[in-house]
Amino acid sequence: MGKANVAVFISGSGSNLNSLIKFSLKKNSKFRISLIVSNNSKALGLKYAKLFNIKKKIINYKSKRLMEKGLINKLQKERIDIICLAGFMKIISKNFIKKFDGMILNIHPSLLPKYKGLNTHFRAISNKDRYSGCTVHLVNHKLDGGKIISQKKVKILKKDTPKSLASRILKQEHVLYSKTLNKILFNL
Ligand code: GRF
């Protein structure tokens, strides 16, 4: 199989998108980033579309059904093999997930199944956990509930705040996501 076509969905800064793009340019990469999708036309991560000359699609959740139809067409037109959610803050419909079942990955900033949802770092610190980390998982209809593919543990330090822990975990997300995606594609 040649390189897989990956679509990355973002809503914000796109630091995970940036790390996926950087990895995709390496010799041993099994994927290329063919499309960047954002629900936010002002997402800072869209700068990477310009910088690396990657196609982008802004989706408007106001007309969900119409949006989804256009999005599915675009994904099929670009022959997308895998969808990577990366800081994507919208819920995807059951219909969409069914259509791309087993092809949607997400990176979540906790050691799932602990701390699904938001404010993961605050919750881990408040619970005096010794470790937190990040998880790459398949996306199914349950929020942050799909099959866990890989995880990276990060020690919580006594002096950690949610902010300091978040930045240390984010760095590990950048490594884990590309490595996991490449491994999945290598074993296909
Ligand atoms: C971060 O909180 C990260 O932990 C999670 O999504 C948020 C934004 O990530 N995966 P990014 O910088 O937009 O990739």
Separation CA 71–CA 105 (nearest Å): 17
Q: Is the CB of 12 under 6 A from ligand 1?
A: yes
pLDDT higher than 70, residue 63: yes
Specify the residue with its C-alpha closest to ligand 1, atom 6: 87
pLDDT tens per residue, range 114-157:
999 999 999 999 999 999 999 999 999 999 999 999 999 999 99
Separation CA 11–CA 37 (nearest Å): 8
Specify the residue with its C-alpha closest to ligand 1, atom 12: 15
pLDDT tens per residue, range 73-118:
999 999 999 999 999 999 889 999 999 989 999 999 999 999 999 9
CB distance 174 to 15 below 8 Å = yes
Lookup result for tokens 């040649």: 2
161 or 66: which leads in pLDDT? 161
> What was the pLDDT predicted at 1?
65
Instruction: Give residue 38's identity as a one-letter amino acid code.
Output: S
Q: What percent of the chain has pLDDT over 70?
A: 99
Confidence of residue 65 (pLDDT cuts 50, 70, 90): confident
53 forms beta bridges with none
- Tokens read off for 121: 């770092």
Least confident of 25-29, 64-68, 157-161: 64-68
> What was the pLDDT predicted at 27?
95
Which alpha helices (DSSP H) does the chain contain, by range?
Answer: 15-24, 47-51, 64-77, 94-99, 120-126, 162-186
Specify the residue with its C-alpha closest to ligand 1, atom 1: 87
Report the atom number in ligand 1 closest to the C-alpha of 86.
14
User: What value does the mean pLDDT of the chain take?
Assistant: 96
Separation CA 49–CA 97 (nearest Å): 25
Active site positions, annotated: 108
Separation CA 180–CA 78 (nearest Å): 22
For strands 104-108 and 131-138, give the pairing.
antiparallel
Lookup result for tokens 């969409």: 96
Confidence of residue 187 (pLDDT cuts 50, 70, 90): confident
> What was the pLDDT predicted at 188?
79
